[in-house]
Every structure is written in C-alpha cells, then in structure tokens.
C-alpha cells in the first residue's frame, strides 16, 4: 500500500473542493477502494472521507424517494417503503455481496464501484482502464466475466454491480454536486459510460464531482423482479442479471422496464424491448423476439460467448415469471 494523506470532510462543499485536486479520491464504505489500494490498483495521494457528511437519510419527496449517498446498502434494502414500493431495488441489493459488505457499502460507493476484470485488478497486467495505452489483457485472455454489449476493442470490462441495474430499470436519477456547489441530475442509465477510446473513465463524474443522492421516481407498481444468474448461490457477482418491472393490464403488457447487469460496461437498457413489449399480449414468441433484439448486437470474445444465450434465456424466464405464462 502507498502512503496517503487522509482528510475528513463534513460538508459536500468541502468534500468536492478537496476531491477536485489531483490524486484525491473519496472514500465511503471503503469496501471496494481499500481492496484496490492494497493491490495498488488505486494509489490516491489523498483520501477524503465522506462519512461525516450527514446524508444517509431515505426520505420522501414530491413524487418519490430521495436516498442520501451515504445510506448503507443494508439500510436501503430493509427500508419498508423501498421493500413495498420498489421491491426490485431491495431484491437487487440483497442479491449482492454479503450482509457484512452491505452493512458497510454506501449507495454512492456502489455506483462508483469498479470493474472486477482480472486484468484491471492485477497491476502486472496490461489494462487500458487502469493504465491507458497499456492494452487490454482480457481481449485475448480469460474473459468469462466480460461484456458482450457496449464494449470496445480497448476495454471489455463490465460494470459488475446489482443495485444500479435495478435503479436503471426504475429510471432513477443521480444527484451530483460539483465545484462551487454546482449540482446536476443525471439518469442512472446515463451515469456509467461505455469505454470507447477512454475506458479509464467509468462514469460521467467531473473532477471533484460527487454523488449526493439518488432519486427514485414515484412508485409504478407492477411485478418487480431481479434475477441474478451465478455459479454459486451467494457471494458472487452476476454472470448476467435482469431487473424487470412488468405490469399486465387487461391481458396486455402495460409496462416493461428492463435493465441488464454484468453484460455491458454499464447497466444495460434497450428501449427497443419496451417498445416491442408494451401493448402486446404476453406470449412466448413475443419474449423470444424481445430476447433476440436484446442480443442482436452482442459479441463475445470466446470465453464469454455463453453470455449471449444465457442472457437471452434469462430474459425469457424473467418475462415468463413476471407475466405468469
């Protein structure tokens, strides 16, 4: 581990100011950042501890719910309002990591968690995300866990998390605060980014900018499912996952908001699926068609080819379960 300075910040304003300086990283639960620092994948010169910022509340606001960035994953998952009005979110969080990790992990940190790509986490390997220009070890290496959509030839890493996938299905908004109190809202769907030529940028945060809160829109009801496929039944990242909010009214699909995890550099949302499904009578042929659309641009590099049929089938299974056909 490298030596680093440590500074506490008790206001967002101070935190953003400190974080804007080169080599500075914010730390919340530390469950991801500290692991990476031990491996020297992250070598910040200074850590700014966000934990004294008084914003771990989950509160109702007009038309929805506001979740402070420092709320723990556990607090969100057990919140009664979230469990009853946004069950897909509670389910997604509970499908991730372990109780101990969820107790420590924060909402902001969960959005900010980095990829689990084996080449990213090993500093003796090439990785364009960690060390731009060094190449991508995964392209010709072990790529079982890698992206089949949205990747580029510079990086095929996935965003590995669960929580954000549910938030993307819910079309939640991320509230950001930057230098000089400049704040903005960005859809969770637009928060993470595809690598293109600049895989070192996981998301759209500007220097110094921090996640302050996540806003959930008004509850939409429907059947909400989070299906996570994995080799072992807990304590494993998804091979692929589907967050689904589906409502059937008078025999027709009235809502079909879908997001997919661990198949792309970001929670993957494909509006074409919603367009196809809404207004139709749920049936197998329709679901197959939706699944085909989802993977029509998907590409594997060998090891991860299996994700194409897997996510196809997982989507069909989820739609069947949600519509009870």
Partner 1 sequence: MTAHMKHDQPDERNVLDHMAQGIIGKSLDRPEGLLKVSGTATYAAEYVIDGCLEGVIVTSTCARGKVTSIDKQSVMSMPGVVDVINEPRMIARPAQGTANEAPEHKVGEIHYWGQPVALVVAETIEQARDAAKNLVIEYAPALAEFNPEDVVPEPQPDGTNEGDLNQAMEGADQCVDLTFTTEGHASAAMEPHAAIAQWDGKMLTVHASLQMLNYNIAELADALKLKQSQIRLISRYVGGGFGSKLGISEEVVAASVAAMVLDRPVRVVMSRQQVFQTIMRRSETRQRVRLSAKADGTFTGIGHEAVVSNLPGEEFAEPVTQSTDFLYAGDNRIMQIAVARIHRMTAGSVRAPGEAVGMPALEAAIDELAEKLGIDPIELRLRNLPDKHPVEGTPYSSRKLAECLTQGAKSFGWKKGKRTPRSRREGEWWIGTGVASAARVHNVGEAKARVTLRDDGTALVETDMTDIGTGTYAILGQIAGEMLGLNPDAVDVQLGDTKHPRGPGSGGSWGAASIGSAVFLACEAIRKELAGRAKVKAEKLTLKDGQIGTGKFSLPLTELIGGKSISVIGHYEPGAVEKNFVASGYGAFFAEVAVNHWTGETRVRRMTGAFGFGRVLNAKTARSQCIGGMVWCIGSALTEALHFDPNDGHLVNCDLAEYHVPVHRDIPDLDVIMVEERDPVASLIQAKGIGELGMCGGAGAIANAIYNACGARMHAFPMTPDKVLSAMPD
Ligand X SMILES: Cc1cc2nc3c(=O)[nH]c(=O)nc-3n(C[C@H](O)[C@H](O)[C@H](O)COP(=O)(O)OP(=O)(O)OC[C@H]3O[C@@H](n4cnc5c(N)ncnc54)[C@H](O)[C@@H]3O)c2cc1C
Interface residues toward ligand X, by CB under 6 A: 25-33, 35, 50, 69, 73, 96-97, 101, 104-106, 108-110, 112-113, 161-163, 210-211, 237
Check residue 324 for interaction with partner 1 (CB under 8 A): no
Select from partner 1, ligand X, none the partner in contact with residue 89, using the beta carbon and a kind-dependent cut-off of 5 to 8 Å.
none
CB of 49 to partner 1, least distance (A): 18
Cβ partners under 8 Å of residue 203, min gap 6:
111, 112, 191, 192, 193
Check residue 3 for interaction with partner 1 (CB under 8 A): yes
In angstroms, the CA 128 to CA 130 distance is 6
CB atoms within 10 A of CB 233: 7
Give the residues across from 65 on adjacent strands.
Answer: 60, 216
Select from partner 1, ligand X, none the partner in contact with residue 163, using the beta carbon and a kind-dependent cut-off of 5 to 8 Å.
ligand X
Check residue 141 for interaction with partner 1 (CB under 8 A): yes
Select from ligand X, partner 1, none the partner in contact with residue 39, using the beta carbon and a kind-dependent cut-off of 5 to 8 Å.
partner 1
| Count of residues engaged in binding partner 1, rule: CB under 8 A | 35
Contacts 24+ apart (CB under 8 A), 307-310: 307/148, 307/239, 307/240, 307/263, 308/148, 310/229, 310/239, 310/240
In angstroms, the CA 11 to CA 240 distance is 37
CB of 124 to partner 1, least distance (A): 4
Give the CA angle between residues 105, 106, 107 to the nearest 5°. 130
Give me the residues that bind partner 1 (CB under 8 A), please.
1-3, 38-40, 116, 118-119, 122-125, 137, 140-142, 144, 229-236, 239, 306, 309-310, 313-314, 316-317, 321
């Amino acid at each position: 581990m490298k030596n680093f300075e440590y500074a506490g910040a008790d206001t967002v304003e101070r935190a953003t100011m400190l974080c804007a300086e080169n080599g500075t990283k914010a730390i919340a639960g530390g469950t991801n950042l500290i692991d990476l620092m031990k491996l020297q994948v992250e070598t910040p010169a200074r850590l700014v501890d966000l934990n004294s910022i008084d914003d771990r509340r989950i509160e109702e606001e007009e038309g929805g719910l506001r979740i402070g960035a420092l709320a723990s994953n556990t607090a969100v998952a057990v919140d009664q309002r979230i469990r009853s009005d946004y069950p897909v979110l509670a389910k997604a969080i509970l499908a991730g990591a372990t109780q101990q990790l969820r107790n420590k992990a924060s909402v902001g940190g969960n959005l900010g968690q980095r990829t689990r790509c084996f080449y990213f986490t090993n500093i003796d390997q090439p990785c364009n995300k960690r060390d731009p220009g060094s190449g991508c070890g995964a392209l010709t290496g072990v790529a079982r866990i890698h992206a089949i959509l949205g990747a580029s030839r510079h990086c095929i890493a996935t965003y590995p998390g669960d929580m954000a996938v549910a938030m993307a299905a819910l079309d939640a908004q991320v509230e950001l605060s930057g230098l000089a109190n400049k704040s903005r809202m960005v859809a969770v769907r637009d928060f993470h980014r595809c690598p293109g030529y600049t895989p070192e940028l996981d998301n759209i945060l500007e220097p110094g900018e921090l996640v302050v809160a996540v806003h959930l829109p008004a509850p939409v009801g429907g059947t909400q499912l989070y299906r996570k496929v994995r080799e072992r039944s807990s304590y494993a990242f998804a091979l692929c996952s589907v967050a689904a909010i589906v409502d059937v009214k008078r025999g027709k699909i009235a809502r079909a908001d879908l997001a997919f995890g661990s198949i792309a550099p970001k929670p993957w949302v494909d509006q074409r699926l919603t367009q196809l499904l809404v207004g139709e009578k749920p049936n197998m042929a329709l679901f197959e068609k939706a699944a085909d659309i989802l993977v029509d641009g998907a590409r594997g590099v060998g090891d991860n080819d299996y994700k194409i049929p897997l996510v196809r089938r997982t989507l069909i299974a989820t739609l069947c379960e949600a519509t009870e056909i």
